[in-house]
Chains A and B, each alone.
Chain A
Amino acid sequence: MKVQVNRTVVDIFDGARAQHAVLRYLVHRRLSQALLKQGRIQDAYGHEIGLDAPLHEGQIIKFKV
């Protein structure tokens, strides 16, 4: 499924959680995976969501450090 992390569309397995999409985003952007634990993940409404939050096709999330 495709989800959007910041402005990057990542293609990730069905059933992926927020942390998986962010990990793929970090690898894609050649950033350290350690940033995952230092940042915050938000949904399209700006609400904080957990690392284990389930994702759905087309979902937009934001990752901020």
Chain B
Amino acid sequence: MKKLFLTVAAVFLLASAAFAEKKEIRILSVNDIHAKIENMPQLAAIVDSLRAIYPDMLVMSAGDNRTGEPLNDLYEVPTYPMVALMNQIGFDCSTLGNHEFDGGQTGLATVTHLSNFPYICCNIHPDPKWGINTIPYKVFVIDDVRIAVIGAVQVGKAGHPDSHPDNVTDILFTPVEETLQEYKWLADENDVVILLTHIGYEQDVELSQYVPWADIIIGGHSHTQVNGGEVHNGVMITQVVNRLDNVTFITLTVQDGKVVDRKAENIKVEGYPKKNTAVAELLRFFSDNPAFKRVLATLTAPMTSYEELGCMMTDAWRVETGADLAFTNTGGVRYDYLPAGPFTVSDVLRLDPFGNDSVQMELTGQEFKDMLIATTYADSEYGFPKVSGVNCEVIFDKKNPEKIKDLKITLPDGGKFDLKKTYKVTTNSYTAAIANSPRKDQGRALNRTTASLIQEYLEHQGTIDYTGVCRVKQSVSAK
């Protein structure tokens, strides 16, 4: 009798194991929002409609929530609009992207403290003096399913995420893959392991071969539009293009403590017909941003030409980056008149609206000269660049008016410009891209927008007067 009872019990246990309940975990993920705050009401509406069906759905960001929209980045508390909108939507977590560091250490600390959700990142080790609040991983428990989320941020050639070096001093970053392996034990104690990374799609594919213990990599950084999810080396990888065009909706089926099925699909946010009204109201509030009216400097006389404004812009780039010389394509100077009086943040953003990064390079005098000529030809609609640190006399060919026949460069005091000497030169990322002239050093992005350099310059100057300043004289050859 006892034997029969044990046999029945064993069969029952086996059967219950075989038919253990399948549970489905839902995740909505975004990456590289880059402060596209105008799409947040639509994102909120999508989250609302999904949470109506799946109340336990997790909402995650794979980093770079900020940088790309002045309304957000120049707010009185920089990037507070994004934090408030993400709080309102009810994000469950985010990892750090390289651009999370663009506000400096104290800026990041403020963001982490104002957010109602944790920043998960295992390979950042900030000095406690900064007060940056991150955790390496977090375990969510939904319907008795344990979900471990481990975050990681990219580490560039310089040993830190791609942001200005000043923004990451006294923060240690450890290698992504090596650090993630330290958390492999989470796979033994949890049913699902999610890597929330900001390292780029190709790097995620490479990483997948070393983390068979992970179920899914929710990635960011490279702005790659993956069609739903792809499985590489047994690990699913997702990512969407930047600026909240799409999101990824993920369904993980869990049975007996492991993921037995994974599905991922994209949902279009751009153009989504519904908006969450509370989030839309918040957005309207943030859009009327008093920070744009802030006075940076006082103009003692009106600026009345592209030349004067271009000289001021390039002076700002040269001075604020410690360069010897600076120049911009003339098409980068967007207006030619500003009345005397206050020079505001809004005036700067109208003058330099493209969000260009600043780029610095080491050029010989000859390479600099060649680059000015190459910029003129590539930016032919607008003509010769605006410069700082030198004066130029350009003679265009009478027979071919777009061709430069001669270019003389002199120092501001009239002295000789040495074509063999090496100069530190700053320009904007657009000009650095279009100027296709020979040079040994292509330069490096400084991770500071050119507009931010102008703002800093104006604040440092207090008052400015560029009346009659002219550094480029242009003429046409006699023959």
A interface residue numbers (CB < 8 A to B)? 1, 11-21, 23-24, 27-28, 33, 43-45, 47-50, 52-54, 56, 59
Contact across chains for A50 and B442 when beta carbons are under 8 A apart: no
Contact residues of B between 339 and 379, Cβ < 8 Å to A? 357, 359, 361, 378
Bound together, the chains give a CA A1 to CA B161 distance in angstroms of 17
Given A43-B201, A52-B242: A13 and B432 interface contact (C-beta under 8 Å) = yes
Query: Interface segment, B4-12, B222-230, B405-413?
Result: B222-230
Given A20-B432, A54-B162: A44 and B361 interface contact (C-beta under 8 Å) = no
Q: CB within 8 A of B34: which of A1, A13, A48, A52?
A: A52
Bound together, the chains give a CA A16 to CA B413 distance in angstroms of 35
Q: CB within 8 A of A56: which of B200, B227, B242, B436?
A: B200
CB distance from B163 to the nearest CB of A (A): 10
Given A1-B442, A15-B357, A49-B241: A23 and B223 interface contact (C-beta under 8 Å) = no
Give the B interface residue count (CB, 8 A): 34
Is B430 in the interface zone, CB < 8 Å from A?
Answer: yes
Given A24-B434, A49-B224: A14 and B445 interface contact (C-beta under 8 Å) = yes
Is B115 in the interface zone, CB < 8 Å from A?
Answer: no
CB distance from A49 to the nearest CB of B (A): 5
12 further A-B contacts with Cβ under 8 Å, apart from A43-B201, A53-B222, A53-B242, are A12-B432, A13-B442, A13-B444, A14-B442, A15-B359, A20-B429, A27-B378, A44-B202, A45-B202, A54-B162, A54-B222, A56-B202
**B205, B227, B243, B442 — most chain A CB neighbours (10 Å):** B442
Given A15-B445, A20-B429, A56-B200: A43 and B222 interface contact (C-beta under 8 Å) = yes
| A-B pairs with beta carbons under 8 Å apart, 8 shown | A13-B361, A14-B444, A23-B433, A47-B224, A49-B223, A49-B224, A50-B223, A54-B221
Closest 9 CB pairs of A and B: A15-B445, A50-B223, A20-B433, A53-B223, A14-B444, A13-B443, A23-B433, A48-B225, A50-B242
CB distance from A18 to the nearest CB of B (A): 8
Is B449 in the interface zone, CB < 8 Å from A?
Answer: no
Bound together, the chains give a CA A17 to CA B162 distance in angstroms of 12
Contact residues of B between 420 and 441, Cβ < 8 Å to A? 429-430, 432-434, 436
Contact across chains for A50 and B243 when beta carbons are under 8 A apart: yes
Is B447 in the interface zone, CB < 8 Å from A?
Answer: yes
CB distance from B33 to the nearest CB of A (A): 12
Given A24-B434, A27-B434, A49-B222: A13 and B429 interface contact (C-beta under 8 Å) = yes
Contact across chains for A43 and B224 when beta carbons are under 8 A apart: yes
Residues of B within 8 A of A49 (CB): 222-225, 241
Bound together, the chains give a CA A26 to CA B34 distance in angstroms of 26
Count A-B pairs with CB separation below 8 Å.
94
Q: Considering only CB atoms, which chain A residue lies closest to B361 in the complex?
A: A13
Contact across chains for B433 and A16 when beta carbons are under 8 A apart: yes
Residues of A within 8 A of B243 (CB): 50, 52
Contact across chains for B432 and A53 when beta carbons are under 8 A apart: no
Bound together, the chains give a CA A23 to CA B430 distance in angstroms of 8
Contact across chains for A15 and B225 when beta carbons are under 8 A apart: no
Q: CB within 8 A of A52: which of B200, B223, B432?
A: B223
Contact residues of B between 15 and 48, Cβ < 8 Å to A? 32, 34
Given A13-B361, A54-B221, A56-B200: A24 and B162 interface contact (C-beta under 8 Å) = no
Contact across chains for B224 and A24 when beta carbons are under 8 A apart: no
Bound together, the chains give a CA A6 to CA B436 distance in angstroms of 17
Q: Considering only CB atoms, which chain A residue lies closest to B222 in the complex?
A: A53
CB distance from A33 to the nearest CB of B (A): 7
Q: Considering only CB atoms, which chain A residue lies closest to B442 in the complex?
A: A13
Q: Considering only CB atoms, which chain A residue lies closest to B435 in the complex?
A: A27
Bound together, the chains give a CA A13 to CA B425 distance in angstroms of 13
Bound together, the chains give a CA A11 to CA B202 distance in angstroms of 21
Q: Considering only CB atoms, which chain B residue lies closest to A59 in the complex?
A: B202
Q: Considering only CB atoms, which chain A residue lies closest to B154 in the complex?
A: A54
Q: Considering only CB atoms, which chain B residue lies closest to A19 in the complex?
A: B433
